[in-house]
Amino acid sequence: SLSDLEQAFQAKIDAEQKIEPKDWMPAKYRSNLVRQVSQHGHSEVIGMQPEGNWITRAPSLRRKAVLLAKVQDEAGHGLYLYSATETLGTSRAELIEALQTGKAKYASIFNYPTQTWGDIGAIGWLVDGAAICNQVSLQRTSYGPYARSMIRICKEESFHQRQGYQIMIELAKGTPAQKAMAQDSLNRFYWPSLMMFGPHDSDSAHSAQSMKWKIKRETNDDLRQKFIDQTVPQIEYLGLEHPDKDLKWNEERGHYDNGEIDWEEFTSVINGNGHCNRQRISHHVAAHEEGSWVREAQNAYNKKMKARRAS
Ligand code: FAQ
């Protein structure tokens, strides 16, 4: 019966065994995974835009080559994650449609504009840094294809994080104008980076079930705390001011207490009203349409080869 199947499924999860594409799974496990993994993939793909904005203006040939490689890596991450989602029975066309019609979300951070070169440093350092914090825990997620994609993605993200921090070091140790640029980028990207971890656990719609199924291995607040704690010495090393004026070491907890996040801003951005939401989606739609001839040519070729094999 269904409940026997569900019990056996939960027992497998409790025993830390991976769920694979052809295994039986509850319909809600499948749909929750499709939701999370596809939104994760969309974040990687839309995340190419804010950094892509600076490829032509990178300050040296070396920086241009590095940034180009990093943005290309994000496309690859999107590809692994879309492939993992496809193993759950959702087609690529359905995924793209959900993104473009606003049915599926992507990380709110990518709706903020990249105004200066310092923002490229801040994104690598803070945004990739926050992404790693979350993804390290997801290497142990219960769905096999998702877990395996996270292993490779984390390796690449650590390179991204270092290239961003290195940009920040150069700016922070540079001229007063460069240092001011680094501080401004830190100020603008710090709070949105904290929002990447999602709402407080008490307001998180999916956390309880996702933790039980081990789709998620650590809660939004626990991961955010880890990120807050690890970022403090990094800001100190740069000699920059911490953007959170309420930040205080809590001896008893062994963690930093932090100021409250602007949750109104978070809600507004995920509901489509950030600075760049419309621009990000319209750019995606345009690129997708421009690439339609490639998909048509590929389909025509596949059809021809299939007919040839059949005859
Ligand atoms: N932005 O119930 P919860 C990267 C939504 S890394 C937008 O707590 P959940 C690398 C959430 O989807 C960034 N929406 O949800 C890179 C849900 O809405 P729904 C991507 C958010 O899933 C670096 C609702 O709020 N990483 O791209 C956000 O349990 C640099 C309720 O929230 C991942 O996606 C947000 N920040 O926890 C690329 C990691 N937070 O679906 C380029 C995998 C929450 O019901 C350059 N994902 N929402 O309509 C996760 O770990 C989880 O999905 C969370 C959210 C933690 C993001």
Q: CB of 40 closer than 6 A to ligand 1?
A: yes
Q: What is the pLDDT of residues 148-167, one digit of tens each?
A: 999 999 999 999 999 999 99
| Residue nearest to ligand 1 atom 51, measured at CA | 134
pLDDT cut 70: percent of the chain above it: 100
Q: CB of 114 closer than 6 A to ligand 1?
A: no
pLDDT-derived band at 311 (thresholds 50, 70, 90) equals: confident
Q: What is the pLDDT of residues 101-159, one digit of tens each?
A: 999 999 999 999 999 999 999 999 999 999 999 999 999 999 999 999 999 999 999 99
What kind and span of H or E run contains 38?
A: helix 27-46
| 107 close to 171: Cβ distance less than 8 angstroms | no
Which residues on adjacent β-strands are paired with residue 122? none
- Provide the mean pLDDT of the chain: 97
Q: CB of 44 closer than 6 A to ligand 1?
A: yes
Q: Supply the pLDDT for residue 204.
A: 97
How far apart CA 253 and CA 193 sit, in angstroms, is 23
pLDDT-derived band at 49 (thresholds 50, 70, 90) equals: very high
Q: CB of 15 closer than 6 A to ligand 1?
A: no
Q: What is the pLDDT of residues 247-267, one digit of tens each?
A: 999 999 999 999 999 999 999
pLDDT-derived band at 207 (thresholds 50, 70, 90) equals: very high
What kind and span of H or E run contains 248?
A: strand 248-250
Q: CB of 111 closer than 6 A to ligand 1?
A: no
Q: What is the pLDDT of residues 285-304, one digit of tens each?
A: 999 999 999 999 999 999 99
Q: CB of 74 closer than 6 A to ligand 1?
A: yes
| 9 close to 26: Cβ distance less than 8 angstroms | yes
What kind and span of H or E run contains 250?
A: strand 248-250
| Residue nearest to ligand 1 atom 50, measured at CA | 36
Burial 174-206 (b: 16+ CB within 10 A, else e): eeeeebebbbebbebbbbbbbbbbbbeeeebee
- d(CA 35, ligand 1 centre) in Å: 10
